[in-house]
Structure formats: structure tokens, C-alpha cells
Amino acid sequence: MTEHEDNNAEPAAETHSEDVQAGPTHSGFVALIGATNAGKSTLLNRLVGAKVSIVSHKVQTTRAIVRGIAIHDNAQIVFMDTPGIFKPRRRLDRAMVTSAWGGAKDADLILLLVDSERGIRGDAETILEGLKDVQQPKILVLNKIDRVRPEDLLKLAARANETVAFEQTFMVSATTGSGCDDLMNFLAKRLPEGPWYYPEDQISDLPMRQLAAEITREKLFLRLHQELPYASHVETEKWEEKKDGSVRIEQVIYVERDSQKKIALGKNGEAIKAISTASRKELSEILEQTVHLFLFVKVRENWGDDPERFREMGLEFPRS
Ligand SMILES: Nc1nc2c(ncn2[C@@H]2O[C@H](COP(=O)(O)OP(=O)(O)OP(=O)(O)O)[C@@H](O)[C@H]2O)c(=O)[nH]1
Ligand SMILES: [Mg+2]
């Protein structure tokens, strides 16, 4: 951090406070990587100050890179939320993990997020090892500090820093916001000087149609269990702005088998109704307009091997 401290070395006597604020802009891409469920999407939303990426208690919620844009002091920080890294089995898994590492390699800075309650084992350990070969500056972020004792945090920080040369270690709680200001202050200074990449009021690069599909997928992850969330995929098919200021949105939930369709619909359509209500409510809040949401469940065997679905999600289609 020391090489950046001279940014403050302005000739104070001649500088008005507005001039200091107007100083050089900083900008850059910051990848959030980590094991699945570490809290990457929760932290992204916290740092951006808006819901940009969906969150659930289940693993493998995020499937493709989602950019969330924050402005802090003179810096525009473009966070890249990535899918959690885990041992892939299906084609979709492989695409998700490739996308996560790709995100890291495209970033100016990498934040490794660790669930401090879970510690460094399994996937987190594999990622730590993998980070040794990544060139960019790396920052360690221990998340979920609301769930652990301080002495355990210190042990965890020491253990991670033994393996990878992290520039800094931060301890945060994405849900309470604790430690997040320090992290933002650091990032704003640490990113290189340069013009902003996005207009000032833009908070995400995800088109509304896709965010809307993601919101429905989140409700589905929260409501349905076992293999179903992983066997399903949501697409927005129709988006019609009405004269009365409301919007009609039609979405399709793709599942792989007829038996899954039955579960997604639920007894007397209860499951789909609950998903639809929850999604519509949140979409109305985000869009600030009345939303008429229509969900259809369709069986599409092997959607997980269909290149078109991957393109739709913003993922590369793995050849094998
Ligand atoms: N107690 C606590 N829970 C947290 C914190 N951050 C995230 N969580 C919870 O951890 C779970 C996973 O959060 P996500 O943000 O979806 O995790 P992720 O790393 O994006 O997961 P994937 O997209 O599946 O890789 C959710 O239930 C969050 O509410 C935190 O700081 N404290
Ligand atoms: Mg996520």
C-alpha cells in the first residue's frame, strides 16, 4: 500500500477541498473469487449497495460472472462476482469454474473470499493453491466474521498468508457490513489511476431481462430442494411495457425431466405460485413499477448440454 500513499502528498496550502475531491480518478476490475457459499454475491451487493447478484444458502447459486459497479471517493470499482469454485462434475459445472478463474485472470485485483466459519479446507484449499499461479495482486477477505471468534480469525489469516503472498487481509461480515468500509477505502486507493469505465449511475452490466430471470432463479433456489435447483434454468422470454405503466414479464423455467416439472409446479401449483409471488414482489421493488409475472415450466432434456443455454447465461460452452 505504501507506494500509493504519496497520492495524498498534495501541496495542502494551495489546494481547496473541492480540488482534492476532484483529484485523479481511479478505476479497475476487482474479482471476487472463492469457494461456493463463501458469501461473494452477498458481499458484492453490500459493496455496490444494491441487489445485483442473487444469493442463497445453497451452494452453486451464481452461474456466470456478474459485474457490480461501485463508486467510492474518486474511484469506480467494478466488482466481478464469480461462480464459486468447486470440483466440477457436469458440463455446466465445468463452465462455471472456468468462468470463475477466467474472471480472476481478467481482473486488476483479486479478492479471495473465505468463509471463516468453514475455514480453509476442501475447495477453499484448492483455490488457495491455484492462486499461487495467478499473477495479479491478491487480497484476502475473511467473511462471516459475525460467526467466529477473533482468535480463530487470526489463525485463519496466518494460515492463508503462509500459502499465498496476500497484499492485505481484511475481516468482514457481508451481512452486517462490518469491515466493509475499510475494504472499500483500500480498494479505492489501490486501483490504478484512470478514467471510469461506466456511466456514473450504472450499477450493473446485467440486462434487466437477465436480472429478472436471476431473481426468479433465486426464489426457486430458496423454495425447491435437492437436485431441482441444479436441474433448472430460467429465461425471460417476453417483456412488454404496458400503457398503464406496468410491465408484463413472461419467463420459462427449464427442467430436465417430467418428474421435476411436477415438483416445480407443486401440489395444486403451490410451488410455482409461491416462486412467482416472491419474484414478482422483488421485481416490482427493483423496477419501481407494477409487474405482471407469468412463469411457465418446460421440460427440456439435456438443457445442460445445449450450447444456446450456455450462451444465454454468458458462459463458454465446454467442448466436452
Ligand atoms: N452469517 C453470515 N452469513 C453470510 C455472510 N455473507 C454471506 N452469508 C450467507 O452465506 C450464504 C451464501 O451466500 P452467497 O452470497 O450466495 O455466497 P456465494 O459465495 O455467492 O455462493 P455461490 O454463488 O454459490 O458460489 C447465504 O445464506 C448468505 O446469507 C456473512 O457475512 N455472515
Ligand atoms: Mg454467488
Q: Using one digit for the tens of pLDDT, what is the confidence trace for 203-260?
A: 999 999 999 999 999 999 999 999 999 999 999 999 999 999 999 999 999 999 999 9
First CA to last CA distance, the chain: 43
Determine the residue of 32, 33, 37 to mutate for testing ligand 1's pocket, defined as the one with the most ligand atoms within 8 A of the Cβ atom: 37
pLDDT at 118 over 60: yes
> What does the alpha-carbon distance between residue 212 and residue 267 come to, in Å, rounded to a whole number?
25
Determine the residue of 46, 55, 145 to mutate for testing ligand 1's pocket, defined as the one with the most ligand atoms within 8 A of the Cβ atom: 55
pLDDT confidence of residue 224: 96
Tell me the CA–centroid distance for residue 85 and ligand 2, in Å: 10
pLDDT at 277 over 50: yes
The verdict on the CB of residue 40 being under 6 Å from ligand 1 is: yes
Residue nearest atom 30 of ligand 1, based on CA coordinates: 144
How open is the CA angle 160-102-143, to the nearest 5 degrees?
Answer: 35
pLDDT at 4 over 70: no
> What does the alpha-carbon distance between residue 289 and residue 134 come to, in Å, rounded to a whole number?
44
Tell me the CA–centroid distance for residue 68 and ligand 2, in Å: 12
Residue-wise pLDDT tens digits, 36-92: 999 999 999 999 999 999 999 999 999 999 999 999 999 999 999 999 999 999 999
Q: pTM for the whole thing?
A: 0.92
Burial of 63: CB neighbours in 10 Å, binned 0-12, 13-18, 19+: buried
> Which helix (H) or strand (E) segment is 169 a member of?
strand 168-171
Report residue 184 as a C-alpha cell.
Answer: 472499500
User: Ligand 2 is a single-atom ion; what residues have CB below 5 A from it?
Assistant: 40-41, 61-62
The verdict on the CB of residue 229 being under 6 Å from ligand 1 is: no
> What does the alpha-carbon distance between residue 258 and residue 213 come to, in Å, rounded to a whole number?
21
Q: What integer is the mean pLDDT of 125-152?
A: 96
pLDDT confidence of residue 186: 98
The verdict on the CB of residue 82 being under 6 Å from ligand 1 is: no
Looking at the CA of 33, which ligand is closest? Answer: 1
Between strands 168-171 and 138-143, the pairing is: parallel
Looking at the CA of 143, which ligand is closest? Answer: 1
Cα dist from 296 to 230, 232, 249, whole Å: 17, 12, 11
Torsion angles phi and psi, residue 204, rounded to 5: -155, 160
CATH of 2-10+206-313, one of 2.40.50.100, 3.30.70.20, 3.40.50.880, 3.30.300.20: 3.30.300.20
Q: Mean pLDDT score of the chain, rounded to an integer?
A: 92
> What does the alpha-carbon distance between residue 317 and residue 295 come to, in Å, rounded to a whole number?
26
Angle formed by the axes of helices 270-287 and 208-223, to 10°? 140
Report residue 238 as a C-alpha cell.
Answer: 417476453
Between strands 26-34 and 233-241, the pairing is: unpaired
Tell me the CA–centroid distance for residue 93 and ligand 2, in Å: 14
Q: Would you kindly state where each structural domain of the chain is located, as residue ranges?
A: 2-10+206-313, 26-190
Residues ≥6 apart with Cβ < 8 Å to 58: 37, 221, 229
Which atom in ligand 1 lies closest to the alpha carbon of residue 36?
A: 25
Tell me the CA–centroid distance for residue 99 and ligand 2, in Å: 13
23 pLDDT band (50/70/90 cuts)?
Answer: confident
Report residue 120 as a C-alpha cell.
Answer: 480453509
Tell me the CA–centroid distance for residue 95 and ligand 2, in Å: 15
Residue nearest atom 7 of ligand 1, based on CA coordinates: 39
Report residue 49 as a C-alpha cell.
Answer: 449497495
% of the chain beyond a pLDDT of 90: 91
19 pLDDT band (50/70/90 cuts)?
Answer: very low
Closest-CA residue to 125 (of 62, 36, 35): 35
3 pLDDT band (50/70/90 cuts)?
Answer: very low
The verdict on the CB of residue 143 being under 6 Å from ligand 1 is: yes
Could you say which DSSP state residue 53 is in?
A: S
Which atom in ligand 1 lies closest to the alpha carbon of residue 83?
A: 25
CATH of 26-190, one of 3.40.50.620, 3.40.50.1360, 3.40.50.300, 3.40.640.10: 3.40.50.300
3-state SS assignment for residue 9: coil
Looking at the CA of 141, which ligand is closest? Answer: 1
The verdict on the CB of residue 109 being under 6 Å from ligand 1 is: no
